[in-house]
Amino acid sequence: MTSLDRIGVQAEPLYGNVTPILYEVAHALDRLLEQAEPTIIDLASLPFAPGELSQLEGVLGTGEIAAELDALGASHIRETAFPGVWWLEHHNTAGEVVGRYLEITRTPQILMSQDADISAGRARLVDQLEGESPDSTNGAGTSAQT
Amino acid sequence: MKTTPTLGQVLQARGVSRRGFLKYCATTASLLALPPTMVPRIAAALENARRPSVIWLSFQECTGCTESLTRSASPTLEGLIFDSISLDYHHTLQAASGEAAEAARHAAMEENMGSYLVLVDGSIPLGNPGFSTIAGISNYDMLMDTVAGAAAVVAIGSCASFGGIPGAYPNPTGAVSVRDLVTDKPIINVPGCPPIPMVITAVLAQFLTFNQLPELDKLGRPKAFFGQTIHDRCYRRPFYEQGLFAESFDDEGARKGWCLYKLGCKGPITYNACATVKWNQGTSFPIESGHPCLGCSEPDFWDGGGFYKPVSTGDFGSGAALAGAAAAGVALGVAAAAVSRRRQAKTIKEG
């Protein structure tokens, strides 16, 4: 952050659409702690005035974890400064934003390894082992093709 | 009927991971205005969905609706065509022309009899068949021939939904809507001039996902997108509640982003999703650019008495509509000072 970023410039008028969402997040954290119930807020479905999305992002801040997903375009997933509150942004292959969500959960589902992928990966590994002698296999990323 | 692979099979063959598929489902849920908790159900349904055949007919139109669709970001048109639907006829986009194009239409109809979707943009002229023809076939004949074996018809844009600009006074071609002619098939109206691209694709995604038509309002529009007015979801609504209006396009109110009601905004009587879905990949919508809503997704919007006249002075309705909207605001718990109410009432009265 540069010193200029610290100057509080209000370029847009305040419309008041951010505060209710923050209260919703607080209530969702209550549900997560008390009932282990996750919540997803689809930010695309909410009316935002110019600048308000950035304002929300700024208030939530950045936490300890950030992850990049490369599947049908990039996805940026990061925990905000409030543990349990995750900011997810999905892009398509053209780089356009196709979805923006707040997930109030311990770990977003999309970060977890999926059964179908684990199963397909295991099959690839077995094929690789059966197609080559163990001595010629140098690592998990080695191609099975000869 | 030909056997087509399921969407799950298509994506698997392309090496799309389960994470990628879940991402696709999440954006589809968002597109359908469904809660994110529906993602697992969407994933299960989509995995086994088969690509429906789609025949797109263009009649008295400006190609703006097709232009809109080609700017759909999620899914992309390319993705939609290759993954989700089989676009078998669209005379603007397809490579074939003339007899080959018409042969493709007939082949798609025969192979998918009873299960294909017909999308129509443009109104149909009844005044003279020669006003608009394709391959020597009048629009009326092509429409009735094509819809005969369709599962459903989707009217894309205000022209196909309500007659639109060709149907505006004095309607020289005798333009009518799809619903005026087709009475024995389910019809979904997706109006707008043009419609929001995401709404077009969402209707197709809904059909693909659940194999059923969305819930419609009295004008045949999907409630998920046309269930609330632009005004209901407008980020400038708080200014309306406070009685703060822009009086001209360059006054203090305009610069401060106040409500555009006095400049003719038709948001209070226009049902559409512009205020949330927005345009140009979610960048903005007309009101965000400082221009009043024209009400383009409502019937006869062109003949409503002036784009820049407040709702209460045109033929769009009376001040009662606005009073109703204001009352709805109170019901939603949006507080407004008494002085603001007086200013608001004065505005409605003055028009």
Kindly report, residue by residue over B276-317, the tens digit of the pLDDT: 888 887 788 999 999 999 999 999 999 988 899 998 775 554
CATH superfamily of domain region B237-350: Cytochrome-c3 hydrogenase, C-terminal domain (4.10.480.10)
What is the rounded CA–CA span in Å between residue A143 and residue B16?
19
For position B315, what pLDDT does the model report?
Answer: 56
Q: What would you report as the CA-atom Rg of chain B, rounded to the nearest whole angstrom?
A: 22
What is this structure's pTM? 0.79
Contact assessment for residue B302 and residue B280, using Cβ atoms and an 8 Å cutoff: no
Q: Looking at beta carbons, which residues of chain A come within 8 Å of B22?
A: 109-110, 114
For position B347, what pLDDT does the model report?
Answer: 46
**Residue A1 resides in a domain:** no
**Residue A23 resides in a domain:** yes
Kindly report, residue by residue over B26-52, the tens digit of the pLDDT: 887 887 778 777 888 888 887 778 778
Residue type, B288: E
Closest CA to B150 of B104, B186, B100: B186
Q: Looking at beta carbons, which residues of chain B come within 8 Å of A50?
A: 257, 284, 288
**pLDDT: which is higher, B178 or B18:** B178
What is the rounded CA–CA span in Å between residue B269 and residue B229?
6
Q: Looking at beta carbons, which residues of chain A come within 8 Å of B253?
A: none
**Residue A35 resides in a domain:** yes
Q: Looking at beta carbons, which residues of chain B come within 8 Å of A13?
A: 256-257
Average pLDDT over residues B2-6: 69
Closest CA to B200 of B212, B209, B188: B188
Kindly report, residue by residue over A103-124, the tens digit of the pLDDT: 999 999 899 998 888 998 999 9
Q: How confident is the model at residue B73 (pLDDT cuts 50, 70, 90)?
A: low
* Longest Cα separation, chain B: 68
Domain at B51-225: CATH code: 3.40.50.700
**Residue A136 resides in a domain:** no
Contact assessment for residue B161 and residue B220, using Cβ atoms and an 8 Å cutoff: yes
Q: What is the CATH number of the domain that holds A41?
A: 3.30.1370.140
Give the pairing of strands B116-121 and B53-58: parallel
**Residue A141 resides in a domain:** no
- Angstroms from B47 CA to nearest CA on chain A: 12
Q: How confident is the model at residue A65 (pLDDT cuts 50, 70, 90)?
A: very high
**pLDDT: which is higher, B349 or B69:** B69
| Nearest residue of chain A to residue B231 (CA atoms) | A47
Domain encompassing residue A45: 14-111
What is the rounded CA–CA span in Å between residue B173 and residue B296?
21
User: Strand, helix or coil at B255?
Assistant: helix
Q: Looking at beta carbons, which residues of chain A come within 8 Å of B257?
A: 12-13, 15, 49-50
Name the β-bridge partners of B134.
B137
Check whether A1 has a pLDDT greater than 60: no
What is the rounded CA–CA span in Å between residue B94 and residue B92?
6
**pLDDT: which is higher, B253 or B328:** B253
Residue type, B30: S
Of B22, B29, B73, the CB nearest to A109: B22
Name the token pair of B221: 């529009």
Of A41, A50, A94, the CB nearest to B76: A94
For position B319, what pLDDT does the model report?
Answer: 43
**Residue A42 resides in a domain:** yes
For position A5, what pLDDT does the model report?
Answer: 55
Contact assessment for residue B264 and residue B287, using Cβ atoms and an 8 Å cutoff: no
**Residue A120 resides in a domain:** no
Of B36, B74, B234, the CB nearest to A42: B36
- Angstroms from B126 CA to nearest CA on chain A: 40
- Tokens 């349904």: give the residue: B45
Check whether A135 has a pLDDT greater than 70: no
Give the percent of chain A with pLDDT over 70.
Answer: 80
Check whether B80 has a pLDDT greater than 50: yes
The three state secondary structure string of chain A is: CCHHHHCCCCCCCCCCCCHHHHHHHHHHHHHHHHHCCCEEEEHHHCCCCCCHHHHHHHHHCCCCCEEEEECCCEEEEEECCCCCEEEEEEECCCCCEEEEEEEECCCCHHHCCCHHHHHHHHHHHHHHHHHCCHHHCCCCCCCCCC
Among B70, B235, B280, B332, pick the best mutation site for testing chain A contact (most A Cβ within 10 A): B235
Domains contained in chain A, number: 1
Of A40, A72, A98, the CB nearest to B73: A98
Closest CA to B165 of B260, B65, B93, B310: B65
Lowest mean pLDDT among A10-14, A17-21, B211-215, B339-343: B339-343
**pLDDT: which is higher, B37 or B68:** B68
Kindly report, residue by residue over B99-150, the tens digit of the pLDDT: 899 999 999 999 999 999 999 999 999 999 999 999 999 999 999 999 999 9
Average pLDDT over residues A66-90: 95
**Residue A140 resides in a domain:** no
- Angstroms from A144 CA to nearest CA on chain B: 17
Q: How confident is the model at residue B200 (pLDDT cuts 50, 70, 90)?
A: confident
DSSP H or E stretch at residue B86: strand B86-90
DSSP H or E stretch at residue B90: strand B86-90
Record: contact A114-B27, CB cut-off 8 A: no
Count interface pairs A-B at CB distance under 8 A. 94
Domain ranges of chain B: 51-225, 237-350
